[in-house]
Amino acid sequence: MGHRPRIVELTIPSEYGYEKLAMRLAGSVAEEMGFTPDRVQDLQTAVAEACLNAIEHGNRLEADTQVLILLSIEPDRLAIDVRDEGRGGPPPSEVPEPDIEQQVAGLMPTRRLGMYLIKHLVDEAGFVEPEMGGGNLFRMVIHLQRNRES
Amino acid sequence: MLNRPLKVHLRRVGDAVIIDLVGDLNHQGETTLKEAYQQATVDNTRRIFFNFERTDYINTSGIAILISIVMEAQKAGQQVGLFGVSPHYQKIFQLVRLPLYANIYTTEQEALASVVQSQ
């Protein structure tokens, strides 16, 4: 019989700074689950960046929008969903890998680093189709197994 | 409410200028940090170090500001270094390959020693 995930929810306004609440919550949960301190910090940065993407691009910083953060806690994994209201349209299908040499040469914008970092900091990351309702749903997963192996 | 606005303090040490950062390095720190860099280079200083000992939150907007400063420094033939960066943010800086253009030192002493060595 499978374990039913424990769910923790947080809703934040689309304002800079509130991503810190989400990163603190995710960090506390991951710490309680037994993730190592470096993986907790990686997760916190990933969660902050995902929330910033939702605030800036998904909700376009519009005051009447919110970002929902949903943590699904299972014995061996932690999944974090970040959902915006889709005011900025659908997410980009492809995110170019940043190249600092191009950036320093002025040939590539210096922004858009968030998605690249997230993919390097968690075990799984990507947009998924919401089961119901609109908006964009970005899911990140970290596994305790990798913790033990590292 | 949750942001710790960035404050900076400039110190001249020999031929270098150290910019001490206190607070969050995010988009809100752009003007503060760029003005500090301009001030640091006003008398043709070639070596600028950023002290991150009292900065515990850096996001990608902040990293983008650092990259844009590195771009300017590169054009002007200046040396940019960072010190006091936590192991986590060192890892983040490595991921975006910032050390290609800005050396990361463990301490202020190590950063300043690099100036002496390169003279």
Contact A104, A84 (CB under 8 A): no
In a domain, A112, yes or no: yes
Distance from CA of B111 to the nearest CA of A (A): 22
Binary contact (B68, A110; C-beta < 8 A): yes
pLDDT tens-digit series, residues A1-46: 567 899 999 999 999 999 999 999 999 999 999 999 999 999 999 9
What pLDDT shows up at residue B106? 96
What pLDDT shows up at residue A147? 61
Q: How far is CA A24 from CA A30, A82, B113, in A?
A: 10, 14, 37
Confidence of residue A132 (pLDDT cuts 50, 70, 90): confident
pLDDT tens-digit series, residues B27-75: 999 999 999 999 999 988 999 999 999 999 999 999 999 999 998 998 9
A42, A104, A114: residue with CB nearest B60: A114
A21, A48, A100: residue with CB nearest B96: A100
Our count of domains for chain A comes to 1
In a domain, A1, yes or no: no
In a domain, A133, yes or no: yes
Percent of chain B with pLDDT over 70: 97
Q: Which positions in chain A touch B68 (Cβ < 8 Å)?
A: 110
Q: Which positions in chain A touch B63 (Cβ < 8 Å)?
A: 113
Q: Is the pLDDT of residue A110 over 70?
A: no
ipTM rounded to 2 decimals = 0.92
Going by DSSP bridges, is the β-strand pair B79-83/B102-105 parallel, antiparallel, or unpaired?
parallel
| Helix or strand (DSSP H, E) at A139 | strand A137-143
What range does the domain containing A144 cover?
A: 6-149
Domains of chain B: 7-118 (3.30.750.24)
In a domain, A41, yes or no: yes
Is-above-0.80 flag for pTM?
yes
Cα separation, B12 vs A139, whole angstroms: 46
Binary contact (A117, B95; C-beta < 8 A): yes
Q: What CATH number has the domain bearing residue A79?
A: 3.30.565.10
Q: Which positions in chain A touch B71 (Cβ < 8 Å)?
A: 103-104, 106, 110
In a domain, A31, yes or no: yes
